[in-house]
A and B are shown apart, each in its own frame.
Chain A
Amino acid sequence: MNAFRRFPWLFILPSLVGFLAFNAGPILLSLWISFTHWDVFQPLSLENLIGNWAGLDNYRRMLEDPVLKKAFFNTLYYVVVAVPLEIVIALAVALGLNRNFPGVRIVRTLYLLPTVTSVVAVGLLWRWVLNPYVGPVNLFLRWLGSKIEALFQFLHLPVPATVHWLATQGPGWLQDAAWAMPGIIIASVWAGLGFRMLIFLAGLQNIDPTYYEAAELDGANNWQKFWHVTLPLLSPTVFLNTLLALIGGFQVFGLIYVMTGGGPLDATNVLLFYLYQKAFGEFPPDMGYASAIAWLLFVILFGLTVIQWQLRKRWVLEEA
C-alpha cells in the first residue's frame, strides 16, 4: 500500500507529544532530580539542576536511612503475605465457581463487588470494619473466643490466655503496631480477590475439556485431575496473575494512606508511601531523595520481572 507510506506522522503526533512531554521527558527528569539536592522552590532551570548536583548522595543516603530500611521490609512483609494469600484464595474460589450450579453468576458477582470499589473507599470501609471495639471483625472474634472459653470451662480445663484475650479484647488492628499490617493485608485481599479470580476463571475456561475426559478414563480422581491437568495447564495464568499481584503489591499506597498513614510507629510505612511523604508530605520537600526512592522501587520491580521470566521457563507448561 504505497499511499500508506505518507501521513504516518499525523497519526503519531498526539502520542508523540504525550510521549515526550508526559513520559520520556519526565522519566529523564526524574533520573536527573535523583542526582541533585534541588528543591521545588527554586525555578526549574538548567543552572539549578546542575548547580545542585549531588552525585550519588541520595542513593548513598538510602543505605543509612533506618526508616527506608523499615519501609523496605514492611513492603516485603506485605507482598510476601498478601500475594500468596490472594492468589491461593482466588484460585480456590475460581475452581469452585468454574462449575454450573443455580446462582453461580450471583455468587461470582458478590466476589466482584469490591473490585469496582476504589482503593480509597475500601480503605475507609475497612478502617471502620476493623475497629477494635465495635467493628464486626472483632465482634465475631470475641463471640468465637467466648464460645471457646465456654468450652474450656465446660471441660473444667484452665482457659489459655490467648483464648481469654480473644474473648474479651481481640486484636487492636490498625491501632496496634503488630496488627496493623495484617489488618491492611486482610483489606487488600478482600479488595483484590475478585480481579484475580476473574483472570483465573478466564484461564480455566480455556482448558480443553477433553483433557479431563482422558484423565477420567484413566481413573483419575478430583485431586489428581487438579494436580496433573488443571494446574499444569493453568500455569501461564498463575504466572501472569502472580507477576501482576507482585508488581501491584510493591506499589501499595492507597490503602496505607487511608487506613494508617504509615503508622503506628512506621509499622505500615511502605516504599511508595515513604516516597510520597518525602516529596509531598513533609516540609521542605525532598524531591531528590524521593526520586532516588522511586528508582530503587523501579529496580526492584524490574529485577522481579526478570527473575519471574527466568522462572517461567522452568515451571510454566505452554501449549505447543
Chain B
Amino acid sequence: MKRKTTFWDVLVIGLLLLGGLSMLVPFFWMISTSLKEPGSLFDLPIQLWPKKLHWENYQQVLTIVPFGRWYLNSLIIATGLTFLNLTSGAMAGYAFARFRWRGRDVMFLLSLITLMIPAHVLIIPLFVIMSRLGWIDTYYALILPGLFDAFAIFLMRQHFIQMPKELEEAALIDGAGPWQIYWKIALPLAAPALATLGTFTFLAGWNSFLWPLVATNSIEMRPLTVGLAVFNTNFSTEWTLLMAGLSLATIPPILVFLLAQRWFIRGLTLGSLKG
C-alpha cells in the first residue's frame, strides 16, 4: 500500500529528528567542555566549541584517576556476575523444567516470591553479612550475590520447557546421564536465550551502582560507576576534568553499543519482563 507523504508525515519526522538531536546535546556539551581551557568556562560569551582544543585535559584526568583500573573492575564484575548468573540460573532452570522432585513447586514459588522483594531491602543485610565475612572491598562481595537470580531461573525454565524433549530422550536411551545430556544437548540448544539473558545481565552489572557503592571503599576496587560518582564529589568544580573523565567513561560503551546494537536491543527488551 503506497500513500503520499503528507504534511503531517513531514511534521512528525521533523519533530522526531529535533527530539533525537536534543538527545545528543548533553553529549556534545560534554565533549566540548572536556576540550576547553580550564578556567575559561565562565567567560562570556560562552563558546559552543573551543577554538583551541585542550587535549591535555584528558592526559591530566588519567594521572589523577585510575580509569583503566575502574574499567577493568567493571568488566570483571559484569563478566563475573553474568557467568555466575547464567551458569546457576540455567542449571536450576533445567532442574525445574525437566526433573520431578520433592519440593520442586515450593522452591519455585519461593524463588518467584523473591522477584517481588526489591534489591534495596537486601543492601543493609548483605553489607552486614559481607562485613562479617571480611569480603567488603573484594570482588567476592561484588560478584557472589549473582549466584541466585530468580529472573534467570524463571527465564531459563521457560526456555527449557518450550524446547522439544526428543533429543534429550534419545540421548537417555543411548545411555547418557542427565549431567551429560544437560551439557552436551540442552545447554547448546539454549544458546540464543543465554546470549540475550547474558547481554541483559552484563548491562545490569555494568551499570549497577548502589551495591558497589556500599560494598567498596578503596579507590582500586571501585567499578566505573562508583569511581565516577566519587570523582564527581571530589572534583566537583573542575568541570573540564570531570567532563574529560566522563567522556572516557561514556564513549567506549556507546561505541560498543553501536557495533552490537541488535544484541543490546534484545537484552534491553528482555529487561521489560523483569519486575
Contact = CB atoms under 8 A, between A and B. Distances in A.
Interface residues of A, number: 93
Chain B residues touching A, majority SS: helix
Contacts of A126: 26
Interface of A: 1, 3-12, 14-19, 21-27, 29-30, 33, 40, 44, 93, 96-97, 99, 101, 107, 109-121, 123-129, 133-136, 139, 190, 193-195, 198-199, 202, 222, 240-241, 243-244, 247, 251, 253-254, 257-258, 272, 275-276, 279-280, 287, 290-291, 294-295, 297-298, 301-302, 305
Contact of B30 (A128, A134, A258, A294): A128
A121 B246 contact: yes
A12 B102 CA distance: 12
B17 interface: yes
Given A96-B16, A120-B225, A305-B116, 8 more contacts: A4-B100, A7-B99, A7-B179, A33-B125, A118-B249, A124-B232, A258-B228, A280-B127
A248 B87 CA distance: 27
Interface string B243-258: 1001001100110011
Interface centre among A113, A129, A253 (most CB of B within 10 A): A113
A287 B269 contact: no
A97 B16 contact: yes
A195 B268 contact: yes
Nearest to A20: B148
12 contacts: A14-B147, A15-B153, A21-B147, A107-B20, A113-B23, A116-B203, A128-B30, A243-B275, A258-B229, A279-B127, A294-B124, A301-B118
Contacts of A291: 124-125
B100 A18 contact: no
Nearest to B147: A18
Interface string B103-120: 010010011001011111
A16 B95 CA distance: 12
A19 B148 contact: yes
B160 to A, nearest CB: 11
Interface residues of B, number: 101
B221 interface: no
B94 A241 contact: no
Interface of B: 8-9, 12-13, 15-17, 19-21, 23-27, 29-30, 33, 41-42, 46, 84, 87-89, 91-92, 94-95, 98-101, 104, 107, 110-111, 114, 116-129, 131-132, 144-149, 153, 165, 168-169, 172, 177-179, 182, 203, 206-207, 209-210, 213-214, 224-226, 228-229, 232, 239, 242-243, 246, 249-250, 253-254, 257-258, 261, 264-265, 268-269, 271-272, 274-275
Contacts of A279: 123-124, 127
A112 B98 CA distance: 38
Chain A residues touching B, majority SS: helix
Contact of A134 (B41, B88, B272): B41
Nearest to B46: A134
A86 to B, nearest CB: 13
Contacts of A16: 92, 107, 148
B91 A93 contact: no
A114 B23 contact: yes
Contacts of B84: 14
Nearest to B47: A134
